[in-house]
Amino acid sequence: MPLIHRKKPTEKPSSPPSEEVVVPDEDSQKKPHESSKSHHKKSNGGGKWSCIDSCCWFIGCVCVTWWFLLFLYNAMPASFPQYVTERITGPLPDPPGVKLKKEGLKAKHPVVFIPGIVTGGLELWEGKQCADGLFRKRLWGGTFGEVYKRPLCWVEHMSLDNVTGLDPAGIRVRAVSGLVAADYFAPGYFVWAVLIANLAHIGYEEKNMYMAAYDWRLSFQNTEVRDQTLSRMKSNIELMVSTNGGKKAVIVPHSMGVLYFLHFMKWVEAPAPMGGGGGPDWCAKYIKAVMNIGGPFLGVPKAVAGLFSAEAKDVAVARAIAPGFLDTDIFRLQTLQHVMRMTRTWDSTMSMLPKGGDTIWGGLDWSPEKGHTCCGKKQKSNETCGEAGENGVSKTKPVNYGRIISFGKEVAEAAPSEINNIDFRGAVKGQSIPNHTCRDVWTEYHDMGIAGIKAIAEYKVYTADEAIDLLHYVAPKMMARGSAHFSYGIADDLDDPKYQQPKYWSNPLETKLPNAPEMEIYSLYGVGIPTERAYVYKLNQSPDSCIPFQIFTSAHEEDEDSCLKAGVYNVDGDETVPVLSAGFMCAKAWRGKTRFNPSGIKTYIREYNHSPPANLLEGRGTQSGAHVDIMGNFALIEDIMRVAAGGNGSDIGHDQVHSGIFEWSERIDLKL
């Protein structure tokens, strides 16, 4: 705008020579500032703008423009953006809330949301000196402003105690409560907000909608020990059911919330000291349906990489683009190491380690997803994929997904007989400490010494079972803490009394579902996005780095369609959770009356094929299948709303499957 302003005066009739113009101009300059006047006198009407002046002028221009735009933005009618979007992309479909309201749907069953890991906000209740003035401010979620302002202080407050997995002394960080806990993760980045807004259209409000926020850093049983979160959830569900005329609740967990709610269902029916004492029919009495969104029932391979080397696909890609940058020790930042130290104190990350071992995730030479072809992102239609398969001359070599971690690309592809395993489990940990600077940062790697590191690299290939052993070896303290709260096996005999311990409750392969034949369990998840499934690693000999292992980012396949990208083997899923983990329980293990589902609770699988937003205006899209963005998927929202308004699985159309989940489930040989 200032440009236009500036042009206007020049259109006036030309004025007398400059010497005379100077005088009135000087007068006008008197007003703004005295100093400007003196300045002009000194410069004798000649040069006008010093460097600082032009800087100020520039800042002024920018400010004025900014205010003007801000004013326009505020004066703009609220429907304007929508109008623009509709002009460009054609009329938008009604959001599901409006559509279903027209159909006459009304709020019926109370709805409980259970947020996943990372998405829930955390706020400070008591802190060290450095966190002054942050009382009841969000440390996690919101703007993350504090991460930049005082990073070390932030890391210190977000970490838990190494030994107990609870609060460190003098620090209390607690979950934000209420719907605000996870409606938006960061400003403008919705998590539950779209779903909440749509539910509100058909009459939901605070009294029949409840966000069961919990401190997602803690192990599940510790949330009860420290915050009594499970008790609160029980009391709130009971209250909502009784104040809504006895209508049972619909539970909507997302991501890790799925495991948390599995834990809750066991806890609530367990007798009092350990459990909630709700009695054996509590779930049957209070729960109508559990609608799991993107549930990592059987864990995610990402968790292994996260714990092993504090990195995942994104970090690995960043490293491939700018090698050396993340690893260098300039400024003594050691970002990754700090992140690793922090995340390793969080017990909850261990709840997401792959469960079921080789039986589920595949061994050295087989995996349930065998034969899966990764279509490049560019190919949208499934046909090109299918053709490649039919011809039998698929250019891609079969991928050994079962090898979750392999050292070197050759090993990842070699036949099982060719791999020389030297058992690392007995290997003595060396005494030598490779790098002293790493002492600042707590990881357990410096206890391992060079010998231990070598032993690990020489073992070459790790399957799901061995990956757990590997973590036990690499981070014994952390895993000792974690295995007190979580278990990753498969139960042989579910009636064994040992399975009454809380550590088994969040593992669907070691617990029975509650006795509630009328309950329904849904598994809703996105498909069609490459999802991390296995990793190629290398030893990192760089002296600057404290983490001796790294994803081998240069492991590429020339082929566009390859599943191997930057050291990561991808498979179908929702970008975070592979289809197998999200779908297997509902597709096979709980289908019908099985030993995991003794009362024959009905299960449904609803997959949503990912289709990326057509243009920038759509933001994160209304048909996304990505792990978090799926919460804005209209089809998913509609399904949830129909169930909340009283529908059941057959009303919304039974299963809806796009991936090969049933085929893959068949390959898994599990006693049912």
Partner 1 sequence: MPPLLRFRKLSPFYEDTVNPKAKQSATVEKPKRRRFRRCSCVDSCCWLIGYLCTAWWLLLFLYHSVPVPAMLQAPESPGTRLSRDGVKALHPVILVPGIVTGGLELWEGRPCAEGLFRKRLWGASFTEILRRPLCWLEHLSLDSETGLDPPGIRVRAVPGLVAADYFAPCYFAWAVLIENLAKIGYEGKNLHMASYDWRLSFHNTEVRDQSLSRLKSKIELMYATNGYNKVVVVPHSMGAIYFLHFLKWVETPLHDGGGGGGPGWCAKHIKAVVNIGPAFLGVPKAVSNLLSAEGKDIAYARSLAPGLLDSELLKLQTLEHLMRMSHSWDSIVSLLPKGGEAIWGDLDSYAEEGHNCIYSKRKSSQLSLSNLQRQNYSIKPESRVKEPAKYGRIISFGKRAAELPSSQLSMLNIEELSRVDCTSNVSTSCGEFWSEYNEMSRESIVKVAENTAYTATTVLDLLRFIAPKMMRRAEAHFSHGIADDLDDPKYGHYKYWSNPLETKLPDAPEMEMYCLYGVGIPTERSYIYKLATTSGKCKSSIPFRIDGSVDGDDICVKGGTRFADGDESVPVISAGFMCAKGWRGKTRFNPSGMETFVREYKHKPPGSLLESRGTESGAHVDIMGNVGLIEDVLRIAAGASGQEIGGDRIYSDVMRMSERISIKL
Residue of the chain from 147, 155, 166, 200 that contacts partner 1 (CB under 8 A) = 200
Q: Specify the residue, 30 or 425, whose C-beta has the smaller distance to partner 1.
A: 30
| Binding residues among 164-193 for partner 1 as defined by CB under 8 A | 172, 174-175, 177-180, 183
Strands of the sheet containing 122-126, edge to edge, are 138-140, 122-126, 172-175
Question: According to CB under 8 A, which one of 86, 94, 103, 126 is a site residue for partner 1?
Answer: 126
Closest contact distance (angstroms) between CB of 113 and partner 1 is: 14
Which range touches partner 1 (CB under 8 A), out of 17-25, 308-316, 469-477, 645-653?
17-25
197 binds partner 1 (CB under 8 A): yes
Q: How far is the CB of 127 from partner 1 (least distance, A)?
A: 10
Give the x/- contact pattern for partner 1 in 551-590, rule: CB under 8 A.
----------------------------------------
Angstrom distance (rounded) from CA 215 to CA 134? 18
Three-class DSSP category at 186? strand
Could you give the 3-state DSSP secondary structure of residue 190? strand
State whether residue 211 is helix, strand or coil: strand
Cβ atoms of 352 and 303 closer than 8 Å: yes
For partner 1, give the closer residue by CB, 286 or 596.
286
For partner 1, the binding residues in 501-540 under the rule CB under 8 A are: none
By CB under 8 A, residue 27 contacts partner 1: no
Decide if 351 contacts 259 (C-beta within 8 A): yes
Question: Which one among 232, 446, 454, 556 touches partner 1, defined by CB under 8 A?
Answer: 232
| Residues from 34 through 93 that contact partner 1 (CB under 8 A) | 35-36, 38-39, 42-48, 50, 52-53, 55-64, 78-79
The DSSP letter of residue 441 is S
Q: Which residues contact 85 (CB under 8 A, 6 or more apart)?
A: 92, 617, 618
From 226-234, 287-295, 382-390, 533-541, span contacting partner 1 (CB under 8 A): 226-234
Residues 6+ apart with CB under 8 A from 305: 311, 312, 405, 532, 535, 551
Distances (CA, A) of 504 to 186, 204, 213: 33, 35, 22
Structural contact between residues 191 and 628, judged by C-beta atoms closer than 8 angstroms: yes
Examine residue 5 and tell whether it contacts partner 1 (CB under 8 A).
Answer: yes
First and final C-alpha spacing in the chain:
71
Size of the site for partner 1 (CB under 8 A): 71
Spatial contact of 194 and 632, defined as CB atoms under 8 Å apart: yes
Closest CB 201 distance from partner 1, rounded Å: 8
CA angle 245-250-251, nearest 5°? Answer: 135
Q: Which is nearer to partner 1, 61 or 433 (CB)?
A: 61
**Stretch 588-617: interaction string toward partner 1, x if CB under 8 A:** ------------------------------
Element (H, E) at 19: helix 18-30
Residue nearer to partner 1 on the CB measure, 184 or 662: 184
- Candidates 84, 186, 225, 239; binder of partner 1 (CB under 8 A) is 239
Helix (H, G, I), strand (E, B) or coil at 164: coil
Name which of 28 and 431 has its Cβ closer to partner 1.
28
Contacts with partner 1 in 133-152 (CB under 8 A)? 135-136
Binding to partner 1 by residue 277, rule CB under 8 A? no
Member of 182, 196, 289, 534 binding partner 1 (CB under 8 A): 196
> Are 140 and 158 spatial neighbours (Cβ–Cβ below 8 Å)?
yes
Among 579, 592, 574, smallest CA distance to 660 is for: 579
Residue 125 CB, shortest distance to partner 1, in Å, is 5
Which residues are catalytic, by number? 255, 574, 627
Looking at the DSSP assignment, which residues form a beta bridge with residue 537? 407, 551
Closest separation in Å from C-beta 485 to partner 1: 20
CA–CA separation, 216 and 224 (whole Å)? 12
HSE of 215, CA atoms in CB hemisphere, 13 A: 29
Tokens linked to 367: 């995996």
Residues contacting 26, CB < 8 A, separation 6+:
37, 40, 41, 45
The yes or no reply on residue 285 touching partner 1 (CB under 8 A) is no
Closest distance of CB 339 from partner 1, Å = 26
When the beta carbons of 180 and 451 are compared against partner 1, the nearer one is: 180
**Piece in contact with partner 1 (CB under 8 A), picked from 200-208, 560-568, 571-579, 623-631:** 200-208
431 sits near partner 1 (criterion: CB under 8 A): no
Residue 256's Cβ-side half-sphere holds a number of Cα atoms within 13 Å equal to: 23
**Closest to partner 1 by CB, 58 or 325:** 58
